[in-house]
Amino acid sequence: MAELKDVVAELRWRGQVFQTTDDEHIGAWLLEKPRTVYAGFDPTADSLHVGHLMALMILRRFQKAGHKPIALVGGATGMIGDPSGKSEERKQLGEEVLRHNVECLQKQISKFLRFGDGPNDALLLNNYDWMHAQTFLGFLRDIGKYFPVNVMLSKDSVKSRLERENGLSYTEFSYMLLQAYDFVYQYRNYGCEMQVGGSDQWGNITAGIDLARRMESVQLYGMTAPLLTKSDGKKMGKTESGALWLDAERVSPYQFYQYWMNVEDTEVEKLLKLMTDLTQDEIASILVEQENAPETRVGQRRVAEEITRLVHGEAGLASARKATEIFFGAEIHDLDDSLLQSIFADVPSASFTQAELEAGIPLGDALVRSGVAGTKSDVRRAIQQGGMYVNNQRTNDVNLKLTAAHLAGESTIVLRMGKKKYALVRIQ
């Protein structure tokens, strides 16, 4: 057996420990022998988002330290919705939608953990597998009788909702029982002795520990991490268009990469510690370089590179880098429309028909119709001054007509007037 690493010391240094059930002894307990640790992920959407990265990175660190991680996808609990941290009841999802969501989440989780048949290779479980055949009467008889209602009512996740006008439905109230039983089931069948999650999961985690003590006469453990927030206390990963999803179809690798490139200097150290595998020495070196030359944004670049590589792989990172170079002037050719449109999402555009393209679209017409140029005279003047580009290649031809030979993607041409005025030509 490989020597275990002190994962708690690592997590504390990185700022990933908020609460534990046994602050004094949990580090030594984890060093005694390899333990099995789990975190849960509710499939309320077909993609995880940045808020889930904390739990994924914690499981990843436990595995690197020699322990066995379990990623539990809540196919059963997802039908109800966790009330923790929510002000109103979630919309319930059908079985078919949930099944699709579970499959998508499994693919994403596999990028963070090593799966296989080894002693500390990760497991991917779905609580629907052991809950779907459970009867209501059987659940009340075998599990519900161990749950004191006064203990459930004392949990913050329940109290905060009961104080609101809409209250808390019995369905959501039961969520705690289901998650608690997940812990017991995984202890019985997989030897799982520890649960980790965000700080909003403390009530659910301790409920599982209490249920295991009552049902199995065993001591289990829990640990929570702080929620991922910015220095102003707001949740990180929120964009103008919504959540920062891990699915490339929802948020392209370029958009994902750019989010991290644009974080404030004050966030860099925290993100390097929380969201990367970089060592203390590597992070210290980056921070020194950042302090000496903040204009280079070396810290943001390393954050963006490391997180994008984890989420989207080397190919996704290469795509994001190429897209970034294009936005800052690199020549454009042989790309797909989806990448071009993610790079130039906020750029004005003009649409033309295939017939117009075959006849040749005058460059001036394209720029005027897109709104980038006021008149064709403006276009002519820009060309004469050397400030006109087609797919980031300078053109000096005042009579240029755009044809299929100018397509940078399947149906897109990128025009630039001056240093920053971009426009897209879209062929219908």
The catalytic site residues sit at: 44, 49, 52, 86, 90, 179, 200, 235, 238-239
Helices 7-14, 265-275: crossing angle, 10 deg rounding: 170
Rg of the Cα atoms in the chain: 26
Distance between CA 363 and CA 357 in Å, rounded?
11
Distance between CA 349 and CA 210 in Å, rounded?
60
**Mind spelling out the 3-state secondary structure of the chain?**
CCCCCCHHHHHHHHCCCCEECCCCCHHHHHHHCCCEEEEEECCCCCCCEHHHHHHHHHHHHHHHCCCEEEEEECCCHHHCCCCCCCCCCCCCCCHHHHHHHHHHHHHHHCCCCCECCCCCCEEEEECHHHHCCCCHHHHHHHCHHHCCHHHHHHCHHHHHHHCCCCCCCHHHHCHHHHHHHHHHHHHHHHCEEEEEEEHHHHHHHHHHHHHHHHHHCCCCEEEEECCCECCCCCECCEECCEECECCCCCCCHHHHHHHHHCCCHHHHHHHHHHHCCCCHHHHHHHHHHHHHCHHHCHHHHHHHHHHHHHHHHHHHHHHHHHHHHHHCCCCCCCCCHHHHHHHCCCCCEEEECHHHHHHCEEHHHHHHHHCCCCCHHHHHHHHHCCCEEECCEECCCCCCEECHHHCCCCCEEEEEECCCEEEEEEEC
Angle at 172 between CA 224 and CA 129, to 5 degrees: 75
Distance between CA 52 and CA 34 in Å, rounded?
24
Residue 196 φ/ψ, nearest 5 degrees? -125, 155
Q: Which residue has the tokens 């499939």?
A: 43
| Residues sharing a CB contact under 8 Å with residue 103, sequence separation 6 or more, in sequence order | none
Q: Are 261 and 321 in contact (CB under 8 A)?
A: no
